[in-house]
Structure 1
Amino acid sequence: MGLAAKMTLEMEIKSPVKEFFHGMVDHAILFSKALPDGLHKSEVHEGDGKSPGSINSFSYVLEEDTALTAKSRVEAIDEENKSLKFEAFDGHVGEFYSKFKVHVQIFTKDDKNFVNYTLEYEKLIEEVPEPINYMGLVAKFNKGLDAHLVQA
C-alpha cells in the first residue's frame, strides 16, 4: 500500500550555521517571532521546550485562516553535527498520520549556509494527502527565523 514515505526540503539561509541551529533548538520560543502574524503560537508543555523529551504544542495555519494544532516531542539534539530530531503528534497531525518525524540539519556547503528538513511520515489511510502544506509551513518558518536572526 505504501503509506510510509519521506520528503525533503533544503533552503539556503543567511544566518550563521551556529545561530540558526540555536534558533532551531529554541524553536518553541521563536515560533511566533519567526511567524509574527498573531496566528502562529507555541507553548511548552513538558520540560524546558528544547531538551530531549520536552513536549511543545503549536497553533499554526496551513491554508486560509484555519488555526490548527499539534504537539511535538524533541527526540534528539546534536550540537556537534548541528542536527535535531522531532516527532509531531496529536491535533491535526494525529488525525492523518501515524508517524510524523522531522530531522533537521544545518550545514555549510560551497561557502553557503543551508538548512535541510527530512520528514518521515506514515499516512493513516491511502486517501490522506501528502504533507506538502507542512513543508510550505517549514519554508515559511525558515524564512522568518532567518530574517529574525539576521536582524537581531
Structure 2
Amino acid sequence: MTLFGKIITEIGVHATAEKWFNLFATQLHQVQNLTDRVHGTRLHQGEDWHHNDSIKHWTYVIDGKVTRCHESIESVDEEKKRITYKIFGEDIEPSFKVFKVIFEAIDKENDGGIVKWTIEYERLGEEVDPPFGYLEYLHKCTRDIDVHLLKA
C-alpha cells in the first residue's frame, strides 16, 4: 500500500473565480467569520497573513473532532488563481509527513465558477487513513463562503 496520495474535488459555486481568489489571496483572516466549521485562527508568526514566511494557527472540526494545525503559503499563482498551502504541526504531524492543500478558482463560461481543492499527502504509516474527512470539511466551508461572496 502506498503512503502517498492525492484527493481532488471540484465544487460549482455561484460567486466568480475572481471573488474567490481575492478572498483567499488578500482576506484569508476573514474565513473564520464566514463558516462555523472554522472555530478560530490567528497569526502565529510573521506580520502579514498573506506572506509566504507567515504562519497561521487554525482550529476547525474534521470528522466531529476539533483539530489544530499550522499553515503557511507555499506558492501563489495569480494567473491560474491557485494557492498552495502547507499544513503542519499539532494534529497533522502525528499522522502525516506531508500535507498540502491547493486552492484553485476557475471561471465558468456562464455565471459563477468552480472551486477546485486538491489535498496532497504522505501518511506516516499504513495504519493512518487517507484524509477523506477534509473533503466534507472543504465542501461545507465552500458552501458557507459562497453564500457570503454572493452578498459582497
Question: TM over 0.5: same fold?
Answer: yes
* Partner of residue 36, structure 2: 36
1:103-118 pair list within 5 angstroms: 103-111=102-110, 112-118=112-118
Superposition RMSD in Å: 1.7
Paired residues for 1:68-79 under 5 Å: 68-79=67-78
2:8 matches 1:8: yes
Aligned to 2:127: 127
In structure 2, the partner of 1:145 is 145
Moved more, 127-136 or 110-119: 110-119
Cα distance in structure 2, aligned partners of 1:84 and 1:146? 18
SS at match of 1:91: coil
Q: 2:93 is paired with a residue of what secondary structure?
A: helix
Aligned residues with identical type, % of pairs: 26
* Secondary structure, counterpart of 1:12 in structure 2: strand
- DSSP 3-state at the match of 2:94: helix
**Matching residue of 2:44:** 45
CA offset digits 1:38-95 (Å, max 9, x no partner): x62111122311122221110011133x322001111111222111010100111112
Unaligned stretches of 5+ in structure 2? none
Contact (CA 8 Å) 2:40, 2:60: kept in 1 or not? yes
**TM-score, with structure 2 as normaliser:** 0.90
Cα–Cα, structure 1 residues 94 and 101, in superposed 2: closer, same or farther, change >3 Å? same
Q: Determine which structure has the larger helix proportion and give its number.
A: 1
Deviant stretches of 4+, over 4 Å: none
Give the superposition deviation at 1:27: 5.8
* SS of the residue 1:135 aligns to: helix
What is the alpha-carbon distance in structure 1 between the residues aligned to residue 114 and residue 99 of structure 2?
A: 22
Contact persistence 2:16–2:107 (CA under 8 A): no
What residue ranges of structure 1 are gaps of 5+ in the alignment? Answer: none
Cα distance change of structure 1 residues 96 and 27 upon mapping to structure 2, 3 Å threshold: farther
Deviation at 1:12, TM superposition (A): 0.6
Whole-Å separation in 2 of the counterparts to 1:11 and 1:122: 24
* Matched residue, 2:82: 83
Cα distance in 2 between the residues matched to 1:60 and 1:96: 17
